[in-house]
Amino acid sequence: MTLLAVERIKLFSTRSPWWCMALAVTLTVGMAALIAANTNDEFPLSVGVSQSFSNFGMIVIMVMAALAVTTEYRFGTIRATFLAVPGRVQALIAKTVVVAVLAGVIGEVVAFGSWGISTLIKPNADMAINSSVEWRNVAGTGLVFALSAVLAVAVGTLVRQTAGAVAILLVYALLVESLIGLIPKIGVNIQEWMPFMHANNFLTADSAALPEGAGPPRLDFPFGPWGSLAYFAAISVGLLVVALAVAKKRDA
């Protein structure tokens, strides 16, 4: 508990987390508002449509999570931390928990914020969250944000530099996973095992955000939505375990 309080003080006594949080929320909710305002009879607003930009927020939150570690390496405060808490694994787990919980809260704010603003803009649209698919689509965002923050902390711990970690995360999440589908024949098969694809499957499986035939082809995932979430969690936590083992062994 002490370590959690320590990491909370550290995180909130600098400015970048506040900026990232504000950016994540305004960006995503702003996009949702824009989309909601442009829906019409042909392309009607629904719960699923209001959530289609949660990825924007997730990317920003991953940057925040990676920064929480890499700035510690950049400014040497990680050494001050390890002097105060020689159990490096505990110290880094505490940091991960604090960042992940914060990311989860922001995820919920983003999701319900997007839903709320869409409802305000188009009060006549069917925006009731009344099926389990819709609940997963909205409330599940917090879980996905939290797990992607864990993944980002792991990458930050392994790479130790802001530029490197952020570049890896952005290029991977924004480009690699979608471009790999372009490889003929096997591309789509690989895609079905990629972590962020599964995160997305958890959020959007069985939802009718897009009319049939629109958007990228639907992937044939090996798991159902909750299996996909477990898979995404396993990859994030697995990477964190590797990062912790490396940090423990490495000279600080």
Partner 1 sequence: MIEAIGLTKRYGTTVAVDDLSFTIAPGRVTGFLGPNGAGKSTTMRMILGLDRPTSGKALIDGKSYAQLDRPLRTVGALLDAKWVHPNRSAKAHLQWLAKSNGLPDRRVGEVLDMVGLTAVAKRRAGGFSLGMSQRLGIAGALLGDPQVLLFDEPVNGLDPEGILWIRQFMQSLAAEGRTVLVSSHLLSEMAVTAQDLVVIGKGKIISQGSTTEFIEKATENSVLVRSPHLSKLGPLLVDKGYTVRNDDDGALTVVGATSDQIGDIAGANGVVLHELSPQRGSLEQAFMQLTGDSVEYHAEIGK
Which residues here bind partner 1, judged by CB under 8 A?
A: 2-3, 5-6, 9-10, 13-16, 71-72, 75-77, 79-87, 249, 251-252
Cα-flanking dihedrals φ and ψ of residue 38, to 5°?
-100, 10
How far apart are CB 202 and partner 1 at their closest, in Å?
35
Q: Whose CA is closest to 137, among 164, 155, 111? A: 111
How far apart are CB 64 and partner 1 at their closest, in Å?
14
- Is the distance from CB of 223 to CB of 231 less than 8 angstroms? yes
Give the residue with the Cβ less far from partner 1, 10 or 122.
10
Task: Return the structure tokens found at 96.
Answer: 């991960």
Task: Return the structure tokens found at 219.
Answer: 């992937």
Give the residue with the Cβ less far from partner 1, 46 or 81.
81
Give the residue with the Cβ less far from partner 1, 36 or 66.
66
Question: Hey, which bits of 174-247 come out as E strands?
Answer: none
Residues 6+ positions from 126 with CB-CB distance below 8 Å = 44, 46
State how far the Cα of 142 lies from the Cα of 54, in Å rounded to an integer.
10
Burial of 175 (0-12, 13-18, 19+ CB in 10 A): exposed
Residue 32 burial (CB count, 10 A): 27
- Is the distance from CB of 184 to CB of 98 less than 8 angstroms? no
How far apart are CB 63 and partner 1 at their closest, in Å?
16
Give the residue with the Cβ less far from partner 1, 1 or 214.
1
Residues 6+ positions from 105 with CB-CB distance below 8 Å = 142
Give the residue with the Cβ less far from partner 1, 76 or 215.
76
Give the residue with the Cβ less far from partner 1, 77 or 189.
77
How far apart are CB 217 and partner 1 at their closest, in Å?
46
Q: Whose CA is closest to 68, among 105, 89, 95? A: 95
